[in-house]
């Protein structure tokens, strides 16, 4: 195992951490279950690819545009959530994968099934990012995503989302403009996904419609559910686990879809709060262990 290989795995893991943090706001906080998150990711990646190859914009110049595009598309795609019930939202987000995938595939502007290739590596003060540099760049964005998530989790917006996630009617009676905050959730979530998409496109150097299909949406949701819906630590940990484990255990790789699907189903049945979510077995255990440890240190002192 070379360092370059580890850094590559690390970079992809970072990109998925941004995606799980993104989904955490939509599904973890606002309880809008999305089985179409790869579509938002794909829109970001395609926006970055097109801006770089057709308009010659640099990664940095394109990034604000990518975020703007994904935010606006997110708002637009979030509108159905105002009309349909939870169950139907799940179905319509599944549909999203196929709609967005088809648009990429059948419109020549998006490169058709040949995709878009030769996306340049970003530069920083004239120097192209190497493997190490890109790993650093990705984790700078992961850090940014974590910090903004922490910030957001302390705002009234998060509280509003938790409230209507539990009881929409009661939330309305509190004076919460539920429609507004649902759209916020879609907008913020899809802005994050846009950044993840841009990082992906410039790292891989090409984008194809099948990179952003339904199976990828399941991956992202499985990571978040595994780590713990509604928690930042869970989002980060889940992405790490499901990205790194299959790399370590090579034979699993061919069964990726099976693993993600099984993880999703098993977690929902046995530990819906995730491994590190609120009230989860491991989280409570680790708190207990920490407390034990502290007490041990305290009593051990002379």
Q: Which residue ranges make up the site for another protein (CB under 8 A)?
A: 156, 159-160, 162-163, 166-167, 169-177
CB of 158 to another protein, least distance (A): 10
CB of 136 to another protein, least distance (A): 38
User: How many Cβ atoms are within 10 Å of 133's Cβ, its own excluded?
Assistant: 16
Choose between 31 and 216: whose C-beta lies nearer to another protein: 31
CB of 152 to another protein, least distance (A): 16
Choose between 195 and 225: whose C-beta lies nearer to another protein: 225
Angle, alpha carbons 127-9-221 (nearest 5°): 115
Answer yes or no: are the C-beta atoms of 138 and 199 closer than 8 Å: yes
CB of 169 to another protein, least distance (A): 6
- Between CA 30 and CA 181 the distance in angstroms is 8
Largest CA distance in the chain: 75
- Between CA 116 and CA 104 the distance in angstroms is 10
- Between CA 191 and CA 75 the distance in angstroms is 10
Choose between 174 and 245: whose C-beta lies nearer to another protein: 174
Alpha helices in the chain (DSSP H): 3-23, 37-53, 59-78, 86-106, 131-153, 156-166, 168-173, 178-204, 214-227, 232-248, 256-270, 281-300
Choose between 122 and 230: whose C-beta lies nearer to another protein: 230
3 by Cβ neighbours in 10 Å (0-12 / 13-18 / 19+) ranks as exposed
Choose between 167 and 254: whose C-beta lies nearer to another protein: 167
CB of 248 to another protein, least distance (A): 35
CB of 277 to another protein, least distance (A): 12
User: How many Cβ atoms are within 10 Å of 229's Cβ, its own excluded?
Assistant: 25
Choose between 9 and 179: whose C-beta lies nearer to another protein: 179
């Amino acid at each position: 195992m070379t360092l370059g290989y580890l850094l590559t795995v690390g970079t992809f893991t970072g990109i998925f951490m941004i995606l799980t943090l993104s989904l955490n706001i939509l599904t973890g906080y606002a309880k809008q279950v999305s089985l179409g998150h790869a579509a938002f990711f794909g829109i970001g990646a395609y926006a970055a690819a097109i801006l770089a190859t057709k308009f010659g914009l640099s990664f940095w110049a394109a990034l604000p545009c990518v975020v703007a595009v994904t935010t606006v598309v997110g708002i637009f795609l979030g509108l159905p959530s105002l009309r349909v019930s939870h169950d139907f939202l799940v179905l319509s987000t599944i549909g999203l994968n196929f709609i967005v995938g088809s648009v990429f595939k059948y419109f020549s502007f998006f490169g058709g099934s040949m995709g878009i290739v030769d996306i340049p590596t970003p530069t920083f003060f004239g120097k192209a990012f190497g493997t190490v540099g890109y790993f650093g760049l990705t984790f700078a964005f992961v850090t940014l995503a974590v910090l903004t998530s922490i910030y957001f989790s302390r705002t009234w917006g998060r509280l509003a989302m938790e409230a209507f996630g539990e009881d929409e009617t009661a939330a309305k009676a509190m004076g919460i403009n539920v429609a507004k905050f649902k759209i916020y959730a879609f907008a913020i979530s899809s802005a994050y996904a846009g950044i993840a998409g841009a990082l992906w496109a410039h790292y891989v150097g090409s984008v194809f419609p099948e990179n952003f299909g339904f199976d990828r949406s399941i991956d992202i949701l499985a990571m978040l559910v595994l780590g713990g819906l509604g928690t930042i630590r869970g989002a980060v940990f889940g992405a790490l686990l499901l990205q790194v484990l299959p790399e370590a255990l090579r034979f699993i790789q061919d069964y990726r879809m099976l693993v993600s699907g099984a993880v999703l189903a098993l977690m929902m049945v046995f530990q819906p709060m995730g491994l590190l979510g609120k009230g989860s077995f491991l989280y409570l255990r680790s708190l207990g262990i920490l407390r034990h440890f502290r007490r041990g240190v305290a009593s051990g002192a002379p």
